[in-house]
Amino acid sequence: MGIYGKTSDNVSMPYQFAARTRKTPRSFIREILKVTERPEIISFAGGLPDPALIAVKEIAEAARLVFESEGAAALQYATTEGYAPLREFVAGRYRRRLGLDASPDEILITSGSQQSLDLIGKVFIDAGEAVAIERPGYLGAIQAFSLYEPTFCPVPLGEDGPDTGALADLLQEKKIRLFYGVPNSQNPSGITWSEKKRREVAALLREAGAVFVEDDAYGELRFSGDPMTPVKKHLPEGTIMTGSFSKIAAPGMRLGWIYAEKEVIDLLTVAKQATDLHTPILTQRILARYLADNDIDAPIRRICETYRRRCDLMGGLIDDLFPEEVTHTRPDGGMFIWATLPAGISSLDLFERGLAENVAVLPGIPFYTDGGGTDTLRLNFSNATDERIEEGIRRLARVLRTYA
Ligand code: PMP
């Protein structure tokens, strides 16, 4: 399998595909996951929440109540902006948790963050537009934006956030319309931006008149301490935040949101009308009922405790068992550890050798919009038991010894 899987260029049919479709590859992750699904494989390649932490019973009860008391409304067409109680929940939580001055009419409910990114691309990116993104950057955003044919301008990500010197140079050099980043426990690196970097990025973008797209998929999955200050707080006008219920409730419900100024939400709403009229009202009502009848903080605490333990376990095993030259991040939240291999070892080759030993990692290459990253890999710790983490890391350590 090629690194990018099959593109539609391989199709021999009489159809004339739009150039943007031909240029956008299938998601490498989704292709790789097909290979790693076999039960004998211990996979750190995916990015799934632990299914044991999904509140199936409570969500089923919420669904029963919705069908019983509001069945027809839940099965009827609904507004594009989203179900009012859900918008109120999101805005209220921003106010309480992060001290943001959010109101429900600044929230658009979407079919997950992935759709939020697509809508942002649709509204903001003209072909050839310069879009800045962390290096490495979130693959789903690279894919969503790619369909709108931007020129990606990577900004190197250091241990405490983006290289603000490089960002300043870039903003001088080019007219950048958007900078997309994941300041909390980033996918793929697990890195959290420091408070200083957040302030610096906000100041630079304000000065340049550029917009920040703040993907906060993992903000609630912080293992300890107070929440970090969102960039949105430093740059209230000019930051579009995206959030998701995938990691704190259930990814299969496909529910997320965009939080931005009302004028921006209005344009995104038009784009969403054109895309799918509205997010399924059935799942919105079920989730709203679940949130009204349950204290979401309790499952979030359980998720954070579990992922923190697994993250520590995986990091500790890497320290103990991998060659010393392997370096890795020490995330304070989220679902991923990012490792860098000794010079000369390719993560693609490691992927192949790992599969032969029934252990899967995700090569870091597709997270780079400008090539490189061949010595990096992403390891997911949220969806494996302690025993499987231990056994999987032992297998990987054995594989790494074959390079000696
Ligand atoms: N943004 C980031 C940074 C993510 O890691 C993910 C999930 N992998 C998403 C967005 C998409 O999440 P959703 O399920 O809400 O579409």
CATH at 248: 3.40.640.10
Q: For 216-242, what is the mean pLDDT?
A: 97
Read off the pLDDT of residues 364-389 as tens digits, 9 standing for 90 and up.
Answer: 999 999 999 999 999 999 999 999 99
What is the CB < 6 Å shell around ligand 1? 47, 112-114, 138, 140, 182, 187, 215, 217, 244, 246, 251, 256
Phi (first) and psi of residue 323, to 5 degrees: -55, 145
What string of DSSP letters covers 245-312?
Answer: STTTT-GGG--EEEE--HHHHHHHHHHHHHHHSSS-HHHHHHHHHHHHHS-THHHHHHHHHHHHHHHH
7 in a domain, yes or no? no
Ligand 1 atom 7 nearest Cα? 217
Q: Is the pLDDT of residue 286 over 80?
A: yes
Residues 285 and 207 in one domain: yes
Closest by CA to 293, choosing from 85, 87, 84, is 85
- C-alpha to C-alpha distances, 324 to 193, 214, 337, 348, nearest whole angstrom: 26, 35, 16, 20
Task: Give the residue, out of 27, 33, 113, with the most ligand 1 atoms within 8 A of its beta carbon, to mutate for a pocket test.
Answer: 113
Closest by CA to 188, choosing from 324, 392, 399, 336, is 336
Provide the CATH number for the domain around residue 351.
3.90.1150.10
Identify the three-state secondary structure at position 125. coil
Q: Say what the pTM is.
A: 0.94
Residue that finishes a domain, picked among 293, 327, 357: 293
Please tell me the distance from the alpha carbon of residue 291 to that of residue 349, in angstroms, as a whole number.
45
Residue that finishes a domain, picked among 241, 267, 293: 293
ipTM of this model?
0.99
Read off the pLDDT of residues 249-264 as tens digits, 9 standing for 90 and up.
Answer: 999 999 999 999 999 9
Residues 25 and 65 in one domain: no
14 in a domain, yes or no? no
352 in a domain, yes or no? yes
Residues 262 and 185 in one domain: yes
Which residue type is seen at 290? Y
5 in a domain, yes or no? no
Give the model's pLDDT for residue 8. 52
2 in a domain, yes or no? no
Residue that finishes a domain, picked among 293, 313, 337: 293
Give the residue numbers spanning the domain of 253: 59-293
Please tell me the distance from the alpha carbon of residue 294 to that of residue 292, in angstroms, as a whole number.
6
Residues 312 and 395 in one domain: yes
Q: How confident is the model at residue 1 (pLDDT cuts 50, 70, 90)?
A: very low
Please tell me the distance from the alpha carbon of residue 15 to that of residue 241, in angstroms, as a whole number.
38
The alpha carbon of 109 and the centre of ligand 1 are apart by a number of angstroms equal to: 14
Q: How confident is the model at residue 7 (pLDDT cuts 50, 70, 90)?
A: low
Q: Is the pLDDT of residue 87 over 90?
A: yes
Residues 107 and 237 in one domain: yes
